[in-house]
C-alpha cells in the first residue's frame, strides 16, 4: 500500500498528537500515523496538492489548501531535497528529516501553520533526530 503525501504533511505526521480539524479528520490522520509508526517501510509517494490526509478535511470548514499551504509544501520539500513524484519508504523520509531538519527549523518552515504554536511538530522532529520512536496516540489527544 502506497500512502500519498504532500510536502508539509511529512512534518505534520511527526507532530500528530490526536488534534485536528474534526473527528473524521483525526480518525483518518490516526490511521495513517499508526500505519507509518508501526510499519516504517510503508511506501510514500510525494504529490503536489491534496493527499490521503486531505481527503478527510471537513467539507463544512473554509478551504485552506490554497496559497500558503502550497508554499509550506515547497519549503519543506526543498529542505528535505524531495520533489513531487518522488517515492520512498517512511523510514527513508524520517532519515531525511533527521539529517536535514532541526527542531528549531519548524518555526521557520511552518510560519503560516496554525498548529505550529503547539510545538508538537518540533517535538516530533526532535524525537526523529534523537533516534527515538514516535509516541502512540489516539484521536482527541495523547494516550
Give 95-134 pLDDT, tens digit per residue: 999 999 999 999 999 988 888 999 999 999 999 999 999 9
Which pLDDT value is given to residue 21? 87
The answer to whether residue 143 sits within a structural domain is no
The mean-pLDDT minimum among 8-22, 53-67, 91-105 falls in: 53-67
Neighbour-count burial for 100-109, b at 16+ CB within 10 Å, e otherwise: ebebebbeeb
The answer to whether residue 96 sits within a structural domain is yes
Cell output for 135: 509516541
The answer to whether residue 41 sits within a structural domain is yes
The answer to whether residue 142 sits within a structural domain is no
Q: How many domains are there within the chain?
A: 1
Provide the residue range defining the domain that includes 119: 2-137
Amino acid at each position: 500500500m502506497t500512502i500519498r503525501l504532500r510536502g508539509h504533511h511529512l512534518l505534520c505526521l511527526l507532530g500528530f498528537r490526536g488534534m485536528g480539524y474534526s473527528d473524521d479528520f483525526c480518525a483518518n490522520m490516526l490511521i495513517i500515523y499508526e500505519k507509518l509508526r508501526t510499519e516504517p517501510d510503508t511506501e510514500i509517494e510525494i504529490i503536489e496538492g491534496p493527499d490521503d490526509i486531505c481527503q478527510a478535511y471537513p467539507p463544512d470548514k473554509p478551504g485552506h489548501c490554497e496559497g500558503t499551504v502550497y508554499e509550506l509544501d515547497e519549503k519543506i520539500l526543498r529542505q528535505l531535497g524531495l520533489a513531487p513524484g518522488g517515492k520512498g519508504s517512511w523510514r527513508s523520509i524520517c532519515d531525511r528529516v533527521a539529517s536535514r531538519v532541526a527542531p528549531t527549523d519548524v518555526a521557520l518552515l511552518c510560519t503560516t501553520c496554525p498548529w505550529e504554536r503547539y510545538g508538537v511538530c518540533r517535538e516530533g522532529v526532535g524525537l526523529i533526530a534523537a533516534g527515538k520512536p514516535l509516541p502512540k496516540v489516539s484521536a482527541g489527544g495523547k494516550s
